[in-house]
Amino acid sequence: MSYFYMPLQLAPTALSQPILPNWSFNLFQVNLGATSNAKVEQAALEKVGSYGKQIGRLAEALEVVIHQLHLLDSADLSREDKDALQVFLGDVAAVRKIKAGLQP
């Protein structure tokens, strides 16, 4: 009786695939591009807050401006502009609701 051996490969030899380019899971470093002043950016992140926190504060401030100026009632804005403001205010409200649900 003769035997015939054939190399059998059912799985790939390399099982790594880059799924998040520019991300490093060693220390969770993110590189999204060059900055004009890395020291200022790093200091702002450390002393002011994350980008998400900064954007959240801007959104809340803009919400106040929209309401104080009664922009949704303004005849000077088009329907599309008012719709854009409504969508924005809806997003701010949705984030506020999520934050309230995560509070201990």
Per-domain residue ranges for the chain?
50-104
Q: Which two tokens stand for residue 86?
A: 């409504």
Contacts with 95 (C-beta within 8 Å, 6 or more apart), sequence order: 56, 59
The whole-model pTM stands at 0.60
Confidence (pLDDT) at 83: 95
Taking the C-alpha atoms of residue 54 and residue 46, their distance in angstroms, rounded to an integer, is 12
Contact 82, 72 (CB under 8 A): yes
Write out the chain's pLDDT in tens, 104 residues.
Answer: 666 555 666 666 666 666 666 655 555 555 566 778 888 888 888 899 888 899 999 999 999 999 999 999 999 999 999 999 999 999 999 999 998 888 77
